[in-house]
Amino acid sequence: MPFLSSTAALKRLDATAGYLLCKIIGRLRHYAGRPELAPDPDPAKIRRVLIIRPGGMGDMLMLLPVIRTIQQARPDIHIDIICEKRNAEVLKLAGLERHAILYDATPLRLLALRPNAYDVVLDSEQFHNFSAIMALASGAPVRVGFRINPARLSLYTHLISYDVDGYELDQFARLLRPLGIAHPVRSLDGILADTTPPPEIQIPAAIAALQRAGPVVAVSPGSSDPYKQWGQAKCIELIRGLLAQGACVVLIGGRAEAAQAAALLAAANSDRVVNLAGTSSLTQTAAVLQSATLFIGGDSGLGHLAVALARPTLILFGPSDPNKWRRAGARHRIIRKNLPCSPCSIFGYHKLCRDIPCMTNITVAEVLTATRDLLTPPAKG
């Protein structure tokens, strides 16, 4: 189904047909006298939980600590996860691939939700409409969702407040309240640190050679979002600066970054730079990140993956909000410009902008200074 394989097409369909369906279903349920609320479930009787997580890799990674918390607090609960096929490898890294229902790859599987007799549905989607319809279609008596989009509110039995400025992981953790789980939710930092790449995944020999030559810095040079692009000239200057500091560079990213990374490789003209962008699976990229000393890139799923793998990170923030997507620590730095217009991104949308000064005003010198600090071992004493 190529139409459903397009993220942009799914968003358009959700904003039109999804919105209307939510409104119609909500009205029909109201006039039919269907119950709109439900008591909190008895935690001891919860056996099957369905989690809904449309969206990109960053969202799914942010949800992993919540899933781990459920598993640790209630190992007897069976969990299934509805998500997009682009997140299948994230779940594979977490050992959860058997629990995935990929709605854009096998949409007919959604028809089999109700026979699974879920006790609770946790919808972690903040705004889109089809996730609420999926929750209702499951037949679960308890359906937990965020109190944001009015069109879909009547499809849930439990509404959870959502802070649009709050750290995303904290927002997801709020969904656990009706389950009676009081355990503190784990941090994203290191949640996948014990991940062992499958036997067939080998670190390329070129990366092993880089490790012998110096600290390896994984650089994600671009983004599928044009508002998060730093610029080709600055990326070239950054790579040359890293080489001058004695570091080696491996370029990573998806197919959208492949052409840019190839141009950077040619411009660098060094055997201490390796390009893997567009040629590696996410599992392979994770194995490369585990071997890296530092990750540098914009706010992206790969940045979250590096944190989850306990790798030090340096993230360049532009339109997105670091308070929402990043918790800085000794191993994790951010660089951003405190402009009056930023951050401007919310739920994947942002204001129109010609020059993107929140990104273009970040200097190479700032990034290299922060890189030097992160690559310098702490003094013993």
Residues 139 and 260 in one domain: no
* Nearest Cα to Cα of residue 247 among 286, 298, 288, 292: 292
Give the pLDDT of residue 352. 86
Question: Over the stretch 261-294, which tens digit does the pLDDT of each residue have?
Answer: 999 999 999 999 999 999 988 989 999 999 999 9
320, HSE (Cβ side, Cα atoms, 13 Å) = 24
Residues 97 and 209 in one domain: no
Residues 160 and 250 in one domain: no
Residue 301: give its domain's CATH number. 3.40.50.2000
Model confidence band, residue 379 (pLDDT cutoffs 50, 70, 90): low
Q: Is the pLDDT of residue 136 over 90?
A: yes
Token reading at 120: 């609770």
Give the pLDDT of residue 6. 61
Token reading at 265: 């490789």
Q: Is the pLDDT of residue 327 over 80?
A: no
Token reading at 171: 């927002």
Question: Could you tell me if residue 195 is inside a domain?
Answer: no
Domain count, the chain: 2
Q: 11-15, 106-110, 236-240, 262-266: which has the minimum mean pLDDT?
A: 106-110
Greatest mean pLDDT range, 105-109, 284-288, 364-368 = 364-368
Token reading at 347: 């739920």
Give the pLDDT of residue 108. 64
Residues 170 and 211 in one domain: no
Q: What is the pTM of this model?
A: 0.91
Q: Which long-range contacts (CB under 8 A, 24 or more apart) does 101-105 make?
A: 103/54, 103/134, 104/1, 104/4, 104/5, 104/10, 105/5
Q: Tell which of 162, 179, 196 closes a domain.
A: 179
Query: Could you please report the per-residue DSSP string of 304-347?
Result: HHHHHTT--EEEE-SSS-HHHH---BTTEEEE----TT----BT
Q: Is the pLDDT of residue 56 over 50?
A: yes
Give the pLDDT of residue 4. 45
Residues 9 and 46 in one domain: yes
Give the pLDDT of residue 200. 59
Q: Tell which of 123, 145, 179 closes a domain.
A: 179
Residue of 341 and 132 predicted with greater confidence: 132
What mean pLDDT comes out for the span 314-340?
A: 88
Model confidence band, residue 209 (pLDDT cutoffs 50, 70, 90): confident
Token reading at 161: 């407040």
Residues 146 and 270 in one domain: no
Residues 212 and 174 in one domain: no
Token reading at 134: 């999926």
Percent of the chain at pLDDT > 70 equals: 94
Residue of 245 and 3 predicted with greater confidence: 245
Mean pLDDT of the chain: 89
What mean pLDDT comes out for the span 244-249?
A: 96
Question: Could you tell me if residue 190 is inside a domain?
Answer: no
Q: 27-41, 91-105, 109-123: which has the minimum mean pLDDT?
A: 109-123
Residues 21 and 139 in one domain: yes
Q: Is the pLDDT of residue 226 over 90?
A: no
Question: Could you tell me if residue 192 is inside a domain?
Answer: no
Q: Give SS3 for 180.
A: coil
What mean pLDDT comes out for the span 17-27?
A: 95
Model confidence band, residue 350 (pLDDT cutoffs 50, 70, 90): confident
What mean pLDDT comes out for the span 59-86?
A: 94
The side-by-side arrangement of strands in the sheet containing 158-160 is 100-102, 78-83, 48-53, 120-123, 142-146, 158-160
Q: Can you give the residue range of the structural domain that contains 309?
A: 205-375
What mean pLDDT comes out for the span 125-145?
A: 94
Q: Is the pLDDT of residue 235 over 90?
A: yes
Tell me which DSSP letter residue 152 carries. Answer: G
Residues 222 and 175 in one domain: no
Tell me which DSSP letter residue 346 carries. Answer: B
